[in-house]
Amino acid sequence: MHNKRMQLNRVQSKTGQISRGRPKTTSRRIAAGALSLAAIGGTLAGVSPAEASVNHTTFTVTIENISGGFEFGQSGAFANPNAGETPGPAFPGDFYEFNVNAHPGQNLSFATMLVQSNDWFFAPGEAGIALYDADGHPVSGDITSQINIYDAGTEIDQPVGEGADQAPRQAGPNTGAADPDNTVRPVTSLGAASQFVNVTATPGDHGMFTIRVTNISGDSTVPGPIAPGVYTVGAGEAALFQTGEADRGEGLEGVAEDGAAAPLAESLAARTGTATPLAPVFYAATWWQRPVFTNGLAMNGLGIELLAEDGSPAALAAGYASRPFGDVGAQPVAVGAEGPGPAFPGDTYEFTVTAEPTQPLHFATMFVQSNDWFFSPSDAGIHLFDETGNPISGDISHLVNVYDAGTEADQTPGFGPDQAPRQAGPNTGASDPINHVRSVDLNAADYVRVTITPNS
Ligand SMILES: [Ca+2]
Ligand SMILES: [Ca+2]
Ligand SMILES: [Ca+2]
Ligand SMILES: [Ca+2]
């Protein structure tokens, strides 16, 4: 940090004497001094107000990729029978259908209520269903044999189809006495789940599977509906419950007792995301307004398309390098890496940038498992000095967002064939039907941890 303190002290001296003592002032106090000088009719020859408050500080910025911590690649709720528009129970003959994307090694879990019970549900075993075989081929066809009936351990059982506290007859949701056995456990008294539901997996393109759960209970001992439920795709480690353990209080109780999927779906969504590399970072500390992009407008041709689609900051950095711009650059090398390349989960980009209070920080790094998404502060940048003129410090992840550049049509993150890790070459993919920059509904702080430290 180096202030133009001499000028400052001169401004502050009301006696006209130029202080050459050790400067102790902050730039804020300098500015205040300039004001008081003006008030007493003094002049400040050759020193503009901007120069008088110059306070250059060099900051170290780190962008750590923390996207490897998600529990699930995908999750969601299914609620509309027969692929319709209206949520509700699926009666005998009806079905629920949902699409998931999975990589080899990932498993499917789901849960849907046996409505004529107090707290029973249909689900795969706690590890889920492997969606690829040992050779990496997608599973196809009937997977009903992997479905069981479980008791959630959250409500005492009454005779199936008759209990006054069961969903079709209960006074309201969550009505019924506590279960004397509070553990999730298989139900053995009804026989196989395949009397009541049929489940199929139909593989599609790019890791997609269509899962259909059909209610076939019409001719069974317990005819009745199934209810809206939830699904996950992940590593297959007891995604929704663990047999022999109590319900986790995340919302499975609502699924099993009342067919209420939303609370559990919300809990799962908070733990769902795509592990993605980051790509080389462009950064700038500048008084220029919106140097990287303008939210709501089409890209300005300064290179963000190349950064957002193909991970290269080169065009942005080159475009600004020759301008009287501020501190601008790129960091293509992750900490500890041999050379330029992506920052994988666990890796960090680090750069230093020198700025004064009129120069907010901007940066951008690609969400590599997307078509044209990038992490960035808002288009106004991050103000690097607080109200008292002191440099900011600490975790600034909450100031970062995910944006869609509006330059390429989106495919499912992590699966799209035109996304950087899989595309045939740079700039491959259909045009974005929405051709302006907008934010993506993801919490950037779940993917990147960004810190800033002023160098002393
Ligand atoms: Ca029970
Ligand atoms: Ca109940
Ligand atoms: Ca897009
Ligand atoms: Ca592309």
Answer with the residue of higher pLDDT: 199 or 23: 199
pLDDT of residue 323: 76
d(CA 349, CA 259): 45
Distance 197 CA to ligand 2 centre (A): 22
Among the bound ligands, the one closest to the CA of 165: 2
Distance 145 CA to ligand 2 centre (A): 28
- Are 103 and 74 within 8 A, CB to CB? no
Q: Which of 54-58, 73-77, 249-253 has the lowest mean pLDDT?
A: 54-58
Same-domain check for residues 310 and 450:
yes
Distance 375 CA to ligand 3 centre (A): 13
Its domain, for residue 153, covers 71-269
Same-domain check for residues 211 and 359:
no
CATH number of the domain bearing residue 291: 2.60.40
Reported as a single tens digit per residue, the pLDDT across 128-137 is: 999 999 999 9
- 321 phi-psi bin (left φ>0, alpha ψ -120 to 50, beta other): alpha
Same-domain check for residues 265 and 297:
no
Same-domain check for residues 345 and 448:
yes
Domain boundary among 240, 269, 298: 269
Query: 123: exposed, middle or buried (C-beta count within 10 Å: 0-12, 13-18, 19+)?
Result: buried
Distance 255 CA to ligand 3 centre (A): 35
Answer with the residue of higher pLDDT: 31 or 455: 455
* C-alpha atoms less than 13 angstroms from C-alpha of 200 in its C-beta half-sphere: 14
Query: Quick check: 94 pLDDT over 90?
Result: yes
Among the bound ligands, the one closest to the CA of 432: 3
Same-domain check for residues 116 and 38:
no
Kindly state the tokens that stand for 28.
């804020």
Distance 276 CA to ligand 4 centre (A): 15
Same-domain check for residues 312 and 446:
yes
Same-domain check for residues 395 and 349:
yes
Distance 178 CA to ligand 2 centre (A): 10
Same-domain check for residues 101 and 45:
no
d(CA 151, CA 149): 7
Same-domain check for residues 185 and 255:
yes
Domains held by the chain: number = 3
Query: Radius of gyration over alpha carbons of the chain, in Å?
Result: 29
Same-domain check for residues 64 and 153:
no
pTM for the full model? 0.84
pLDDT of residue 447: 98
Q: Is 113 helix (H, G, I), strand (E, B) or coil?
A: strand
Among the bound ligands, the one closest to the CA of 158: 1
pLDDT of residue 357: 92
Among the bound ligands, the one closest to the CA of 411: 3
Domain boundary among 213, 240, 269: 269
Distance 39 CA to ligand 2 centre (A): 76
Which amino acid belongs to residue 418?
D
Average pLDDT over every residue of 395-401: 98
Average pLDDT over every residue of 224-231: 98
Same-domain check for residues 173 and 219:
yes
Reported as a single tens digit per residue, the pLDDT across 251-284 is: 999 999 999 999 999 999 999 999 999 999 999 9
Average pLDDT over every residue of 177-205: 97
Among the bound ligands, the one closest to the CA of 410: 3
Residue 234 — φ and ψ, nearest 5°? -170, -160
Answer with the residue of higher pLDDT: 96 or 322: 96
Q: How confident is the model at residue 54 (pLDDT cuts 50, 70, 90)?
A: low
Q: What is the DSSP string of 186-231?
A: E--TT--GGGTEEEEEEE-STTEEEEEEEE-GGGSSS---B--EEE
Name the average pLDDT for the chain: 89
Domain boundary among 269, 288, 303: 269
Which amino acid belongs to residue 128?
G
* C-alpha atoms less than 13 angstroms from C-alpha of 65 in its C-beta half-sphere: 26
Query: Quick check: 71 pLDDT over 90?
Result: yes
Which DSSP category does 398 fall into?
Answer: G
Q: How confident is the model at residue 2 (pLDDT cuts 50, 70, 90)?
A: very low
Query: Quick check: 197 pLDDT over 50?
Result: yes
Query: Quick check: 189 pLDDT over 60?
Result: yes
Same-domain check for residues 295 and 263:
no
